[in-house]
Amino acid sequence: MEKFVIVGEKTLSGKVKVSGAKNSALKLMAASILSEGRVTIKNIPGIDDVMTMIEVLKHLGAKVSFDLDQKVLQIDPTFISSYEAPYELVRKMRASILVAGPLLAKFGHVKVAIPGGCNIGSRQIDIHLKGFESLGAESVIEHGYIYLKSARKGPKPSGKEGRYLQGTVINFDFPSRGATENIMMAATLAEGKTVINNAAREPEIVDLANFLISMGAKIEGGGTDCITIHGVKNLKGTVYRVMPDSIEAGTFITAASLCGEKVEICDAIWSNLETFCLKLREIGIDIEDRSNKSIVVKAVSRPLKPTYISTLPYPGFPTDLQPIITVLLSIVPGVSIVTENVFENRFMHVEELNRMGANIKVDGHHAIIKGVEKLSGAPVRAFDLRAGAALVLAGLVAEGTTEVSDIYHIRRGYEDFEKKLQSLGACIRVE
């Protein structure tokens, strides 16, 4: 199995470009199912999760071609003949359940494997199901699968015979991103108006709404906590460019904060990352917005200050950057406290960081971090995608050599991670 070998304490400098956003690309790919014609999506990152979603779409019967060099994906959903997201694929990547909304909307029924737990928590799908049921779907759970069927039958809004969903008002108990996306997609072809209250507000939701609008959907309020969708008869093909990945940007910003001289992170959108960037400023990092197009991080000579961080749905501090900023806080003098509110089990990286000399205690959903002077290189294991990236950053700043194993987690979400770090001067190789 592949691992990263990192020789730490090299100074990073130069420019690095962020790829297309994983957490948008996967949703746009799922939403393509809704189209009556071919969809072209640009700026698709070459990551393993995208490859898994391609497998899901092909399994359903869609024709898919991916030009990895040009980062252009073409999806022709006209041949879809299966309505099942199988366990092997959903287990590999939870986001596979995002095909449920589009399949239900277009064909009136879907069979999707229950995702089950993952390394960062149990991750329920009750909010998705309640939403589908409110739209008039009947659900049956059997043998590890959820079967959903639109209750209404007859001439659909498009005029064709079949099963269809009925628009309604849905109040989410929690602003789940996945549920917001699934219900928003399902509602595009429902009869009448759907309102989602307490919707997730992430920029990726706006990207998905804009993508659907470019296909002919009628959606208002994307990016606010109240999204209104007016059902249309059908959706057409489109050409669309995925937004840049804020979490990848945040990862490189943190790498630069740890060991950068002057690093420019291009395609990093400040407004999408403001809470995170302002927190870094508060700690004492010299970070600058370049017109919402790139972010520059410069080395600072003054001592950094400890802080409190509490993860929350957007626009709060992003949970995906929690493991990553924890690495920085582990070498900031004083005591910092990180509270994880979104996932129940997102401190798996802490034991590994402690093996590298960090002093972090986990108490429930809080991590109490006593800054140490230095981390020291050690063999460590990536338990999930962001925890894995965090350990690579720890290796960059640590004294000596760090080996990060199980890097297949990192390959799920970072395109050319080691190459991009090498281009900034990091000493990292794959073995």
Catalytic residue annotation: 118
**Smallest distance from ligand UD1 to CB 275, Å:** 12
Q: Is 320 one of the binding residues for ligand UD1 (CB under 6 A)? A: yes
Cβ atoms of residues 134 and 168 within 8 Å = yes
Is residue 177 involved in binding ligand UD1 (CB under 6 A)?
A: yes
Distance CA 178, CA 151 (A): 23
Subset of residues 340 to 399 that bind ligand UD1, contact rule: CB under 6 A: 342-343
| Residue closer to ligand UD1, measured from CB, 240 or 314 | 314
Residue 291 CB: number of other CB atoms within 10 A? 6
CB 5, min distance to ligand UD1, A: 27
Please report whether residue 319 would count as binding ligand UD1 according to CB under 6 A.
yes
Q: Are 8 and 231 within 8 A, CB to CB?
A: no
- Phi, psi dihedrals of residue 395, rounded to the nearest 5°: -65, -35
Supply the minimum distance, in Å, between the C-beta of residue 47 and ligand UD1: 11
Given a contact cutoff of 8 angstroms between Cβ atoms, the answer to whether 407 and 382 are in contact is yes
Task: Verify binding: residue 26, ligand UD1, rule CB under 6 A.
Answer: yes
CB 139, min distance to ligand UD1, A: 13
Give the C-alpha separation, 202 to 241, whole Å: 17
Give least dist CB 27 to ligand UD1, A.
7
> Closer to ligand UD1 at the Cβ: 23 or 307?
23
Query: From the list 82, 124, 214, 422, which residue makes contact with ligand UD1 (rule: CB under 6 A)?
Result: 124
Answer yes or no whether residue 125 interacts with ligand UD1 by CB under 6 A. yes
Stretch that binds ligand UD1, among 121-129, 147-155, 191-199, 422-430 (CB under 6 A): 121-129
At closest approach, how far in Å is the CB of 90 from ligand UD1?
12
Structure tokens, 272:
């999408």
Which part of the chain contacts ligand UD1 (CB under 6 A), choosing from 11-19, 148-156, 174-182, 367-375? Answer: 174-182
Helices 246-259 and 322-329: crossing angle in degrees, nearest 10, is 10
Q: Hey, what are 376's tokens? A: 């020291």
Tokens of 237: 């093909």
Torsion over CA: 56, 57, 61, 66 (sign): negative
- Tell me: does residue 127 bind ligand UD1 (CB under 6 A): yes
Total residues at interface with ligand UD1 (CB under 6 A): 20
Q: Which listed range, 122-130, 212-220, 284-292, 348-356, lies at the site for ligand UD1 (CB under 6 A)?
A: 122-130
Measured from the CB of residue 49, what is the shortest distance to ligand UD1 in angstroms?
Answer: 8
Q: Are the C-beta atoms of residues 389 and 365 closer than 8 Å to each other?
A: no
Among the listed residues 14, 88, 174, 271, the single contact to ligand UD1 using CB under 6 A: 174
Picking from 47, 75, 13, the residue whose alpha carbon sits closest to that of residue 421 is: 13
Q: Which of 23, 150, 228, 254 binds ligand UD1 (CB under 6 A)?
A: 23
**Residue 20 to residue 244: CA distance in whole angstroms:** 4
Between helices 177-187 and 126-134, what is the axis angle to 10°? 20
Q: Please, which residue, 367 or 372, has the CB nearer to ligand UD1?
A: 367
Provide the strand spans (E) within 232-293. 239-241, 260-266, 286-290
Binding of ligand UD1 by 95 (CB under 6 A):
yes
**Choice between 31 and 424, CB closer to ligand UD1:** 31
240: CB partners within 8 A, 6+ apart:
28, 39, 40, 41, 42, 210, 211, 214
3-state SS, residue 413: coil
Decide if residue 185 touches ligand UD1 (CB under 6 A): no
Q: Are strands 260-266 and 12-17 parallel, antiparallel or unpaired?
A: parallel
3-state SS assignment for residue 266: strand
Residues binding ligand UD1 (CB under 6 A): 23, 26, 95, 121, 123-128, 174, 176-179, 200, 319-320, 342-343
